[in-house]
Structure 1
Amino acid sequence: MPAPSPAPAAPLKTRDPRLDVFRGLCLVMIFINHVPGNIYEGATSRNFGFSDAAEGFVLMSGIAAGLAYSADFREASMRLWTGLARVWRRVWTLYLVHILATFAALAAAAAVALWLGNAESLFENQMKWVWLDPLRTLIGLVILTHQFGYVNILPLYLVLLAFAPILLFLAWRWPLWLLAGSVALWLVAGIWRLGPPNYPTSGVWFFNPLTWQVIFVTGLVTGVALKEGRRLVPVRRWLQVATGLFLLYAALSVQIPAVSKLTGNSLWLLRETFNLPWNLTAFDKTYVTGPRLLHILALAYFLSSFPAVRRACAHPLAAPFELLGRQALPVFALGSVLCIGLQGVKHVTGEDILADSLILAGGLAAQFALAAARQYWPKPPKIS
């Protein structure tokens, strides 16, 4: 029998600044990492743990979706149809933004080739298939089976959001069963390497929805819990200590070769001794393997469990990142297009600290300007 309807949720009184601030920080780090070879790459989160900003961005997107859309799926009423309309309207917006960003990124690479005389970017990030197999590739771009590198996180998000109505309905009623099913799907998809196929090339999506869903669903259930005014996982000192020690070890493992070797040998020994599935001990981004998944969950718990982090996110110094996080979709789309063009610029400039600084500063300034315009530009009056 279904679980009884939950008690009415206590409305959130204020917007939690942590969600927007950390989403903004993820956008900055994603942009920096997407201009490979710059001197600032070493300061981003992927150099201090097993996961990177992409996992954090997807987790917080799930939390945001849970907060924004969950109320419509709380009761089995006509609000379900309103919720479906709201979610799928957003999915359509995401699709349009992705298509625009895809062809704008292609234009950015073409501009570098035309005006700077360097065509390398036209053959990187899966763009070469536009020239090698144009007819099939154009079809693949439209149906999302072919995605350019660095512009490929929106297809993941829109596919996951398309299923959010079902997930939110379950999250209100059977959250633990939903999480268990999500983990089971993650495990099976990883073991058998299942995922949506690429077309016209081989393999599966780089951001595989069948495995990345476990991060999104965790965020979604967390958002539903926050909607009720509670934490999904209570604050416990032993959990803070355990997650803190794990995060410290992960940082040392990434930074120190001897610790990295110890980690690799230990995971290999576990896999061989207990005959564990490969995706529990490997390091693979497409299948969000065990160490990556454990790291992002530990990081999320650790940061969310200290009141000082919330106070820091509410400080005026964090306001620029909060602004980026509030306007995540247009900022991410612009950053994705810029990074393709700036990769081409970097092919021309080479290793140059001044050029790297100007390239990244200019790109980030454009994203902040777009976010500010979206947030503060006067809205036109509605015509009655």
Structure 2
Amino acid sequence: MTSTTNAEIARADGDLRIALLLGIANWFLFLDHIPHNFVSALTMRNFGYSGATDLFVFIGGYAVTLIYAQMTLERGFLVAATRIFKRVWQLYAAYIVLFVIYVELISYVAARTAAPEIISEFNITGFIDHPVRTLIYGLFLQAKPLNLDVLQLIIALMAFQPIVVFGLLYVPNATLLASVTLYAAARVLDWNLTSYPYGAWYLNPFCWQLLFVMGGWLALIGTRYAPAIRAMQAIPALRATALLYLLFALTIVSSNEIPALAQMMPSGLSDMLLQNDREDVAPHRILHFLTLTFLFTWLVPRDWGYLRSYALQPVIKCGEEWLAVFCAGVFLSFAAHLILITGPYSLTRQVAVSFAGIAAMTAVAYYVSWSKQQDNKSPVGAHS
């Protein structure tokens, strides 16, 4: 069992597609977090049910499971569990710092620019009315500031990662089945975590955990089924069916923005498929994402030559340093939004702030990578 799993981890490790997709998810999340931004029309959410959040959670589950499963096999479960909780603490610390500074900055900007609607738009009204209470709830991840929901979700999912890693290593299919069962129960019984001052989490962790676990399952077990998956991908009828489903999803999503297209849809179909599909990650949304994965892995194999091209290195680097890039993206999206609402509304400004933000995120990724390299240099190497 251990030797087989070690071999599978070795085959999965070093896949540049993981960093590529994490980088793309970070860039798309940044663009999606800028309200009324034309450039965000190019992101995943505009072409189907799933979006950058789905990609971020799934690939995040793949990456962290791969890392800590290997650590479990090499150094033991206890060591891996403590390393996971160390990462959870780092994520939590990043969340708290972002939450406090984020709220203070938005309040300050709203007062200075005489634009109080920003407070409501970024969902921090409770902080103005009850600052201490809101901060306390924020410490318990129960506040709901806009654009921090993804990091909030990742913290919750990572907290249970030791159990997930152990299960995926020794009873992978049973662990996946348990995840599916929890997902179904949460949807049927309406389970979610409460938020302050009202409502529940934007991203229900009891439901979104399924994508996270599926990513981990694919990382550890996917290679066993790789021949079967490749055989399925070689069937033209299956590829055509997958493509038709993606086109159907594109039509449904587009009908929400194009009245003429909406009139051609059966009554209530668009509302049924689009209503509240993000909070509880609806089944058709998961199916859409898996369909994308099916076609992506067929079109972009692991040994795809362009993965090492210079053109893709910036986005891959952003994927390798995903936490720092994500945190930077939260602030940059707010800064971009501020620039757009305090100046003339133009396409040029939207494009400029979007590309400037992506450039800044890339610079952060390269700096963090360089800084790690300096920290890893030995004293002897530093003086040689």
* TM superposition score category, shorter chain reference: 0.7 to 0.9
Give the letter for the 1:131 counterpart: I
Greater Cα offset, 112-121 or 159-168: 112-121
User: Distance in 1 between the 2:309 and 2:262 partners?
Assistant: 36
Equivalent residue of 1:9, what SS?
helix
Alignment match of 1:9 (pick from 2, 6, 13): 6
Aligned residues: 368
Q: Are the aligned partners of 2:13 and 2:66 in contact in 1 as well (CA < 8 Å)?
A: no
Structure 1 residues 195-344: aligned runs within 5 Å: 195-199=192-196, 201-225=197-221, 231=226, 234-235=229-230, 236=232, 237-238=234-235, 239-256=238-255, 257=258, 265=267, 283-307=276-300, 310-344=304-338
State the partner residue of 1:48. Answer: 47
The Cα shift of 1:68 comes to 0.7
Q: Equivalents in 2 of 1:65, 1:319: separation in Å?
A: 21
- Residue 221 of structure 1 contacts residue 232 of structure 1 at CA under 8 Å; is this kept in 2? no
Q: Which amino acid aligns with 1:303?
A: F
Q: Give 3-state SS (helix, strand or coil) of 2:4's partner.
A: coil
Q: Is the 8 A contact 1:74 1:169 kept in 2?
A: no
Q: Structure 2: any 5+ residue segments left out of the alignment?
A: none
The 1:222/1:383 distance shift into structure 2, 3 A limit, reads: same
Identify unmatched segments of 5+ residues in structure 1.
270-277
Partner of residue 364 from structure 2, selected from 367, 370, 377: 370
Q: Do the aligned residues in 2 keep the contact of 1:129 with 1:137 (CA within 8 Å)?
A: yes
Shift of 1:267: 5.3
- Whichever residue aligns with residue 155 of structure 1, its letter is Q
CA shift, 1:74, in A, is: 4.5
1:57-96 alignment to 2 at 5 Å?
57-74=56-73, 79-96=76-93
Residue 148 of structure 1, aligned match among 130, 145, 168:
145
On the 8 A contact 2:72/2:79 being kept in 1, the answer is: no
Displacement of 1:282: 5.1
Aligned-pair CA distance for 1:346 = 2.2
Q: Which amino acid is the alignment partner of residue 68 of structure 1?
A: I
Provide TM-score, normalisation by structure 2. 0.86
Contact kept in structure 1, 2:23 and 2:322, CA below 8 Å: yes
Deviates more, 1:11-20 or 1:303-312: 303-312
Indicate yes or no: 2:132 matched with 1:135: yes
Letter in 1 for 2:70: A
After superposition, the Cα gap between the structure-2 partners of 1:331 and 1:307, relative to the gap in structure 1 and judged at 3 Å, is closer
User: Cα distance 1:233–1:247, how it changes in 2: closer, same or farther (>3 A)?
Assistant: farther
Using the size of structure 1 for normalisation, the TM-score is 0.86
Q: How far is 1:158 from its partner?
A: 1.3
Q: Give the CA deviation at 1:159.
A: 1.2
2:170 pairs with 1:165: no
Residue identity in the other structure for 2:159:
A
- Which amino acid in the other structure matches residue 187 of structure 1? A
Q: Which structure shows the bigger proportion of residues in helix conformation? A: 2
In structure 1, the partner of 2:23 is 24
